[in-house]
Amino acid sequence: MQPTSPIFRATRFLAIGAAAAAAFGLAAPGIAEDAAKSQPTKAERTIEYRQSALYLLGWNIGPIAMMVKGEIPFDAKTVELRAMRLAQVAPMIAEGFPPDSQTGAPTKAKPEIWQNMDDFKSKAAALELATTRFAETAKSGDPKLVAAGLGEVGKACKACHDQYRAD
Ligand code: HEC
């Protein structure tokens, strides 16, 4: 734990509060227990990490999908930026699924992931490839090519969700 992290500071603050409360003869145990509970477990942090990375994918693909569907005007610069972000985030997915993160916080990750880790990783790699290609395609600014590229990326998302994400 970095000494400067907000959690560390919050914990220290509560600990000082508990010590002060004890010094003044107040009921301190509750405060000390809260301080201990405020530390997220390793599994909680890992699950939050992967859900955040996946949330970023959803956040960035959303506007492109809306453009392709004609729900908002096509904007080549936005497509290029968001496609680049998808390619940057895709390689961050696999490391969010170490063996000790199957449980420990609410998750839609199915246990099958850890029984078929090689296949899961190959699906993550397929997304990396599709998003890297898509980031190149997006530079063309051609709505037809973008629609086709988005389709390829969407297939890579779906292939993994169908098998490894609970509904
Ligand atoms: C290699 C497998 C895999 C690929 C590829 C994949 N996902 Fe997922 N996705 C998951 C799993 C597993 C979860 C559930 C994670 C959890 O709850 O811990 C998930 C959850 C999500 C979530 C919910 C995150 C949250 O807030 O909890 C979003 C949004 C999402 N994925 C979007 C996408 C998009 C968009 C793509 C493609 C660009 C994609 N995913 C590709 C496996 C994958």
Count of CA atoms in the C-beta half-sphere (13 A) of 165: 11
Q: In whole angstroms, what is the distance from residue 150 CA to residue 84 CA? A: 12
Tell how far the Cα of 38 is from the centroid of ligand 1, in angstroms.
27
**pLDDT in the model for residue 34:** 62
Note the pLDDT tens digit of each residue in 102-135: 999 999 999 999 999 999 999 999 999 999 999 9
Count of CA atoms in the C-beta half-sphere (13 A) of 151: 7
CB-CB neighbours of 114 under 10 Å: 16
Among 161, 163, 164, say which to mutate for ligand 1: greatest number of ligand atoms within 8 Å of CB. 161
**pLDDT in the model for residue 8:** 47
Residue 121 CA to its chain's centroid (Å): 16
Ligand 1: does its nearest atom lie under 6 Å from the Cβ of 109? yes
Ligand 1: does its nearest atom lie under 6 Å from the Cβ of 134? no
Rg (CA), the chain: 22
Both tokens assigned to 133: 């290609």
Q: In whole angstroms, what is the distance from residue 104 CA to residue 131 CA? A: 30
- 12 pLDDT higher than 50: no
- 53 pLDDT higher than 70: yes
Ligand 1: does its nearest atom lie under 6 Å from the Cβ of 157? yes
Tell how far the Cα of 54 is from the centroid of ligand 1, in angstroms.
5
Region for residue 81 given its phi and psi (left: phi exceeds 0; alpha: psi -120 to 50; beta: otherwise): alpha
Note the pLDDT tens digit of each residue in 56-85: 999 999 999 999 999 999 999 999 999 999
